[in-house]
């Protein structure tokens, strides 16, 4: 039964078209980051980047090196689209994207994480077996089919993403439209629709439609009777998000993914008119069956575990941020912070310096460091290192207050704790984060 479920050969048209669209979006993501100035703002202008803790060895290239870096990534994206040296091209894009993802988190986005996961999975998939330069150069690579585990892998992965995104929305500030209202208030000046977005009923509609969409989109796409309506809802949902939130390629990537739910005949009629439909349905059990099952098991255990890890940390993730990343908690809170770093010379405690963060950080980094404990800790460590170079041993204290979803500002970091002396714990709560008062 398992062999039939995983290893039945099915038509590969959806995978081929997805590869073409995916490669195009990869190229747009990389090249667009150059021309919109994002690379310059994220990697060139700041004095340093807030990398994921433990990945200090990943540093931006000097000068305009990151512009060339992204240009090369864009080229690999085009190669993926064309199916030219596909495995190497998608592997290189994956490595390069993972590096820049881990290199900075001031512009953290769950969609960047999803892109890294999908890039890795696409390395494993035979997405170059039709309509590719690889097949043109080596015709024996040509295939009209793929094992059914390919479809299952991608659909289950996206089901996890959407389901956890829906579950994360089950909290009062989402369903009473507080958070949607805050998000829309920042769009008040949008041309034509700015005033419309301020309507209370719009906020409630966004809250409930967003929740139900994430919860039901995959089942509705799987069911033939609701598929077209689900697709139209997806078009509206993702184009709305693209227009309102400016979240890069993700809305279009999500729309490209819907191709896996449509019949092959329809896909071929629209995209691959010369491709024959495959209906052999042979069961071919490969030699890699055992390693594949082991991979499936490990991969999905990790994917199911990471989004719930915040339940094992003390206090509310909305406050502490512990367990927030890698968990599909998308657009779930609005935070503002006020922060002051105090440097005390151990040899001369009376010599106290209050740091002007604007001397060290870009405006976006300043906003991020005011509300995120890991970045507060990292900046404290950096300040300590800087003063050590001058021969001083210092202590770093932080006076910080944070507002969550428009609530009054509350003390955030214990001002009596020397953060320079603290170690970072990836798997436990940090007691220098003061208790929250979120209700």
Please give the Cα distance from 2 to 98 (Å, whole number): 33
Same domain assignment for residues 258 and 290: no
Is 276 inside a domain boundary? no
Q: Quote the pLDDT of residue 439.
A: 56
**Domain ranges, residue 292:** 286-439
The 3-state DSSP class for residue 130 equals: coil
What per-residue confidence (pLDDT) applies to 35?
96
Q: What is the pLDDT of residue 2?
A: 86
Q: Is residue 269 part of a domain?
A: no
Backbone angles phi, psi at 66, to 5 degrees: -70, -25
Number of domains in the chain: 2
> What is the DSSP secondary structure assignment for residue 309, as one 8-state letter?
G
Query: How many angstroms separate the CA atoms of 275 and 242, rounded?
Result: 33
Q: Measure the CA–CA gap between 39 and 37, rounded to whole angstroms.
A: 6
pLDDT in tens, the chain (439 residues): 888 899 999 999 999 999 999 999 999 999 999 999 999 999 999 998 999 999 999 999 999 999 999 999 999 999 999 999 999 999 999 999 999 999 999 888 889 999 999 999 999 999 999 999 999 999 999 999 999 999 999 999 999 999 999 999 999 999 999 999 999 999 999 999 999 999 999 999 999 999 999 999 999 999 999 999 999 999 999 999 999 998 899 999 999 999 999 999 999 999 999 999 998 889 889 899 999 999 999 999 999 999 999 999 989 999 999 999 999 998 889 999 999 999 998 888 878 889 999 999 999 999 999 999 999 999 999 999 999 998 889 999 999 999 999 999 999 999 999 999 999 999 899 999 999 876 5
Q: Looking at the structure, tell me whether residues 340 and 203 fall in a common domain.
A: no
CA distance 132 to 135: 5
Give the strand pairing for 352-355 and 145-147. Answer: unpaired
Give dist(CA 260, CA 51) in Å, integer.
Answer: 35
The answer to the question of residue 69 being in a domain is yes
249 and 302 in one domain? no
Same domain, 415 and 371: yes
Same domain, 242 and 345: no
Residue 268 forms part of a structural domain = no
Q: Read off the DSSP letter of residue 8.
A: B
- 188 lies in some domain: yes
Give the tokens for residue 329.
Answer: 């908690």
The answer to whether position 272 is within a domain reads no
**Do 371 and 250 reside in the same domain of the chain?**
no
Residues 146 and 189 in one domain: yes
Instruction: Verify that 309 and 167 share a domain, yes or no.
Output: no
* pTM value surpassing 0.75: yes
Q: Do residues 259 and 291 share a domain? A: no
- Domain end, chosen from 228, 263, 298, is at 263
Classify residue 281: in a domain, yes or no. no
Whether 189 and 44 map to the same domain: the answer is: yes
256 and 312 part of one domain:
no
Predicted confidence at residue 97, as pLDDT, reads 98
**Residue 278 counted as domain residue:** no
DSSP secondary structure, 140-182, as one string: GG--SEEEHHHHHHHHHHHHHHHHHHHHHT-SHHHHTSHHHHH
* Same domain (yes/no): 235, 330: no
| DSSP annotation of 273 | T
């Amino acid at each position: 039964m398992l062999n039939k479920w995983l290893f039945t050969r099915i038509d590969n048209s959806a995978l081929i078209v997805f590869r073409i669209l995916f490669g195009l979006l990869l190229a747009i993501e990389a090249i667009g980051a150059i021309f919109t100035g994002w690379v310059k703002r994220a990697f060139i202008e700041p004095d340093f980047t807030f990398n994921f803790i433990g990945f200090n060895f990943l540093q931006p290239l000097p000068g305009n090196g990151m512009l060339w870096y992204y240009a090369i990534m864009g080229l690999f994206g085009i190669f993926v689209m064309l199916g030219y040296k596909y495995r190497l091209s998608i592997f290189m894009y994956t490595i390069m994207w993972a590096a820049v993802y881990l290199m900075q988190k001031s512009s953290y986005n769950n969609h960047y994480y999803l892109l890294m996961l999908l890039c890795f999975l696409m390395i494993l998939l035979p997405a170059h077996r039709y309509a590719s330069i690889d097949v043109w150069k080596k015709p024996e690579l040509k295939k009209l089919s793929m094992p059914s585990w390919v479809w299952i892998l991608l659909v289950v992965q996206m089901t996890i993403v959407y389901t956890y995104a829906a579950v994360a929305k089950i909290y009062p500030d989402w369903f009473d439209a507080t958070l949607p209202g805050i998000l829309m208030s920042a769009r008040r000046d949008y041309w034509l629709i700015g005033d419309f977005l301020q309507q209370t009923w719009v906020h409630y509609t966004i809250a409930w439609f967003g929740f139900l969409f994430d919860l039901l989109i995959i089942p509705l796409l799987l069911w033939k009777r609701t598929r077209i309506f689900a697709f139209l809802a997806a078009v509206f949902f993702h184009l709305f998000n693209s227009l309102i939130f400016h979240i890069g390629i993700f809305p279009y990537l999500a729309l490209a993914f819907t191709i896996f739910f449509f019949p092959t005949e329809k896909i071929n009629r629209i995209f691959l008119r010369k491709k024959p439909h495959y209906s052999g349905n042979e069961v071919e059990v490969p030699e890699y069956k055992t390693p594949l099952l082991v991979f499936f098991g490990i991969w999905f255990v990790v994917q199911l575990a990471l989004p719930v890890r915040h339940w094992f940390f003390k206090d509310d993730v909305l406050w502490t941020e512990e367990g927030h990343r890698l968990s599909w908690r998308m657009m779930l809170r609005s935070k503002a912070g006020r922060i002051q770093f105090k440097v005390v010379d151990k040899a001369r405690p009376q010599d106290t310096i209050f740091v002007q963060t604007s001397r060290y950080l870009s405006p976006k980094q300043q906003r991020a460091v005011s509300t995120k404990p890991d970045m507060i800790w990292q900046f404290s460590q950096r300040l300590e290192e800087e003063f050590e170079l001058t021969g001083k041993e210092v202590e770093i204290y932080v006076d910080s207050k944070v507002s969550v979803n428009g609530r009054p500002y509350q003390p955030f970091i214990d001002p009596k704790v020397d953060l320079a002396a603290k170690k970072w714990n990836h798997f436990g709560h940090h007691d220098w984060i003061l208790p929250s008062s979120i209700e």
